[in-house]
Amino acid sequence: MRKIFAGFGFLILIVSLAGPVLHSEETLKKEKVISEEYYDLLFDKNKVGKVRLESYISKFRGSEVYVIEEEMNAVFLRGGTEMKTYSKSRTLSNMKDLSPIGYWYEASEGGVKRTLMGLVSKDKKSIEINIDIGGTKTTKKLELPPNTIFSNAFEYYIRRNLNPGFVKKLPLIMEADADVVEGLTQSEKFEPIDLCPNSVYKTTTTVAGIKNIELRDASGWPVCVILPTMNAIFIRVDKKKADEGFTPVDIFEQSLIKPDKPIKSINRLEKLTLKLTFSSIEVPPILEDEYQKILKKEGKSVVLEIRRIRPDMDKKVPFPVKDEKFKKYIEPTRYEQSTSEQIMELAQKFAGEETDTVEVAIKVSNQVGGFIKGASLSKGYLSALEVYEQKVGDCTEYSVLTSALLKSLGIPTRLVMGLVYVDGKFGFHSWLDYWADGWFSVDPTLNEESVNPTHIRLWTGIGEPSELRGASTSALNFLNKVKIEILDAEYK
């Protein structure tokens, strides 16, 4: 049985997705420990994880460096299946200004190991990163704007400069994502609260669109770190408390949304009108495109119309697409290795002698449905090659593999994250669009050649961490924050 709703690997990545000398304990001796902190991670008031954060002075290539180590363990449930996540990072920075020298990052999500290592160039203008995802190795070079620091060094930068009214914006290296993003923080005085005693400063920090609220004591150390969009909080504790067991939460079940009335005859449904009412402070951005449009906005409610778009099967559209404007949607990405030998061979096998884009897209989508043999909610967000090798996954894996196969044939694709109605409830889901003189959708998980109008689109993009953060943000904006009413349904 196929797992319909999206896994939360891409959500969990935002909590945490060179040379071997960077992770060699022998070459990074702790000459002076600066700090060691422990935090409990609470999700919906349940402890689901812990974090250890340590900084110390060491020597690297004969010079003193500032080292920051961060280690996180968390356990979630998805549909009753336990999902363990683990990550550890080590960054080396200049003692004086925290400018980056190099780093190592390791994570395991659902048993899939990811390792990234990078060293900054001698001119300090770029960093070359070696990436290994489940045995699939790639490299990536990042250009570094002036004043770039590591994202975990941003916390220490804030502590060094903390005062009421302090505001700073810096480019940050996202260690897990191999990307550079903007980080912004601003501080103010704060009255302590029971949950976070001794807090006298409040800093609001936004990194890659994700907002954290840090409540700090007089020394600048965080007492609590709040993630409003996830209903999650990190609370500083001692080591003994941090080492206590977890009580994992089933975030899959919590994410399901039951509308005010059932939707019937999905296969014949051509247009759906919904009313979304949000309990969040602000109404999140709603995607508008060929498939859905906003009919009305009033207060915290949005009326949304979604229609089914069927391709013209009589209109033949050849591939590969050579237009430069679609380059972004054809090139391989971190999670869609469309130029790998295995993916290219499988794409040719599935496509056969077919020359029409629509026919090939439908054919490949249907074939992926049979290629993936097992369902798995214990996996994170697998790449196309990992799906190829393991043949397991949920809707994100169906979509990523289909997308990579079509890209390898020269057909532009974009991934879609959103909600879909199944068994009386809306849940997070993934599918994809392909270009055939217009964007058309297929859903390889539900085996739909033209997706039904219960597919609410929250995000479209490609399989790069920098873009997938947008998917995560969009999903988090809807998590436990929306009521769905069915206003109208039109049938064929």
**Given 227, 242, 257, which residue is the final one in a domain?**
242
In a domain, 480, yes or no: yes
Residues 331 and 271 in one domain: yes
Residue 45 lies in a domain: yes
One domain, residues 206 and 328 = no
In this structure, the answer to whether residues 318 and 199 fall within a common structural domain is: no
- Of 205, 227, 242, at which residue does a domain stop? 242
Query: Is residue 238 located within the same domain as residue 276?
Result: no
Reading the block at residue 304, the tokens are 């949304």
Write down the pLDDT at residue 380.
Answer: 58
What does the pLDDT look like over 65-103, one tens digit per residue?
A: 999 999 999 988 876 778 788 899 999 999 999 999 999
299 and 215 inside one domain: no
Residue 98 vs residues 95, 125, 179, 205, 277: alpha-carbon distances, Å = 6, 15, 18, 18, 44
- The domain boundary, picked from 193, 209, 242, lies at 242
My answer on whether 164 and 77 are in the same domain is yes
Kindly state whether residue 27 falls inside one of the protein's structural domains. Answer: yes
Residue 326, amino acid? F
Q: Are residues 458 and 390 in the same domain?
A: yes
What is the number of structural domains in the chain? 2
User: What local confidence, expressed as pLDDT, does residue 9 receive?
Assistant: 41
pLDDT of residue 18: 34
Q: What's the pLDDT at 17? A: 37
Domain contains 272: yes
Residue type at position 109: E
CATH number at residue 278: 3.10.620.30
Positions in the chain short of pLDDT 50? 1-2, 7-26, 378
The pLDDT value given to residue 314: 92
- SS3 string of the chain? CCECCCCCHHHHCCCCCCCHHHHCHHHCCCCEEEEEEEEEEEECCEEEEEEEEEEEEEEECCEEEEEEEEEEEEEEEECCEEEEEEEEEEEEEECCCCCEEEEEEEEEECCEEEEEEEEECCCCCEEEEEEEECCEEEEEEEECCCCCEEHHHHHHHHHHHCCCCCEEEEEEEECCCCEEEEEEEEEEECCCCCCCCCCCEEEEEEECCEEEEEEECCCCCEEEEEEHHHCEEEEEECHHHHCCCCCCCEHHHHHCECCCCCCCCHHHEEEEEEEEEECCCCCCCCCCCCCEEEEEEECCEEEEEEECCCCCCCCCCECCCCCHHHHHHCCCCCCCCCCCHHHHHHHHHHHCCCCEHHHHHHHHHHHHHHHCCECCCCCCCCCHHHHHHHCECEHHHHHHHHHHHHHHCCCCEEEEEEEEEECCEEEEEEEEEEECCCEEEEECCCCECCCCCCCEEEEEECCCHHHHHHHHHHHHHHCCCEEEEEEEEEEC
Q: Say if residue 214 is in the same domain as residue 288.
A: no
**Predicted TM-score of the model (pTM):** 0.78
* Residue 7 domain flag: no
Please tell me the predicted confidence (pLDDT) of residue 445: 94
Q: Which residue has the tokens 């019937």?
A: 264
User: Does 259 map to a domain?
Assistant: no
271 and 203 within one domain: no
**Are 46 and 170 part of one and the same domain?**
yes
pLDDT of 82 reads: 80
Domain span at residue 231 reads 12-242
**Are 399 and 303 in the same domain?**
yes
- Euclidean distance between CA atoms 122 and 303, whole angstroms: 55
35 falls within a domain = yes
- The verdict on residue 5 lying in a domain is no
Share of the chain above pLDDT 90, in %: 62
Tell whether 323 and 464 lie within a shared domain. yes
